[in-house]
Amino acid sequence: MNANVPDITQNNGQTEFDRFQDHYPTRRASDPAVLARSEPVAYGSAHVGPLDQLALNQYAESGFIHFDHFFNSNELNMFLKELNSIRTNQSIKSQAGSIFEPNSQEIRSIFAVHNKSEIMHSLCYHPRLVLIAQQLLGSEVYLHQTRINYKAGFRGQEFYWHSDFETWHAEDGMPRMRAVSCSISLTENTHHNGPLMLIPGSHLSFVSCVGETPENNFKSSLRKQDVGVPDDESLQKLIEHRGIISTTGPAGSVTFFECNMMHGSNSNITPQPRSNVFVVYNSVRNRLVAPFCGLPARPDFVAHR
C-alpha cells in the first residue's frame, strides 16, 4: 500500500485525515442545533470480551450499562479508605488538579488520581474495567481522564446537564465519539443524595451548544460549567422523548456510559456523600488532536495527551 494514501481499512473507516476534521461543530453558531451521531456506539464484538451480545445491544441503544455489585467488599473498603485519605491529604489538596465547590472551600473533584495514588492507579487499570472498555471501544484504550468526585453531604452542589464529549471535542480535540466513561460509586447512591441522572439514548444525537469558549475556561468550568451547556429547548425535547434514569445502587456499583451521553445530577443536602471515582477510557484510535475551539489544549491532568 502506498504510504501516502491514508489507510482507510483501519479505524472503522476513519482515515488519519478524518481525525482533524470537525464533525461536531459546537460553540460557534448563534443558535443551538441537534446533529445526528455519525459513528458506531458499541465498536467491539461479543466474541472478544466479558459482555455478551445482549449487553452490547443494550449499551448501543441506551448508551449505558450498570452493574450493582462490581467489586467485593475487600476491594471496596480499600478504595473507600484511599478516597478519604486523599481528601484530607494537604499536599494533594494544594495541587492544580484539586477543584473546590463553587461557593466553598470544600473539595469537589481531584483529577488525575491514577497518578496520585497506587491504589487509585490499580482501580483505574482494574482488568475487568479495562476489558469492558476495550470491548465497548473495539480497540486498545488509554486513560483520557480520571478523577474523584466527592459530592459532599449537606452542601454537595449539582452538576448541570452536559455531554462530556461536547467539552472533550471542543476543549481537548477529541475527534470522535469513541470513548467511554466509567463511574465507580464508593458510597451508596440513593434517590436522595443527588445520584447520577442519565437521559438514555441521548448519546445518539449531539447537542451543539451556543457560546464561545473563554481562555483558560477549565479554571472555572470544573467548579461550575457555563459554556458547553445545552439549551433548554433541546434538553426538554430530549427528556420528553427519552426520559431520565437515576443510577441508584449500593456502594461498589459501576456505570459505564457513552462519552456523548447527556447526564447531570442534582444537589445533595443529605448527610450521605455521593463519592465516586470517574475513569474515562479513550480508544487509541481516537487520540486527541488540537482543540476544535481553537484555543490551547487544557492541562494534562484534565485531558491526557
Residues that bind a copy of itself (CB under 8 A): 153-154, 158, 160-161, 191-192, 194, 197, 232, 235-236, 239-240, 244, 246, 264-271
Q: How far is the CB of 270 from a copy of itself (least distance, A)?
A: 6
At closest approach, how far in Å is the CB of 268 from a copy of itself?
7
Q: Which is nearer to a copy of itself, 205 or 265 (CB)?
A: 265
Please return the burial class of 72, using the count of CB atoms within 10 Å of its CB with bins 0-12, 13-18 and 19+. exposed
Cβ proximity to a copy of itself, 121 vs 224, nearer residue: 224
In angstroms, what is the minimal distance from the CB of 76 to a copy of itself? 21
We find the least distance from the C-beta atom of residue 288 to a copy of itself, in angstroms, to be: 29
Q: Grid coordinates standing for 105?
A: 472551600
Nearer to a copy of itself, 44 or 156 (CB): 156
Find the shortest distance in angstroms from Cβ 190 to a copy of itself.
8
Nearer to a copy of itself, 47 or 191 (CB): 191
List, as one string, the DSSP characters of 143-198.
EEEEEEE---TTTBPPEEEEEHHHHHHHHH---SS-EEEEEEESS-B-SSS---EE
Cβ closest to a copy of itself, residue 201 vs residue 299: 201
End-to-end, the C-alpha distance of the chain in Å comes to: 29
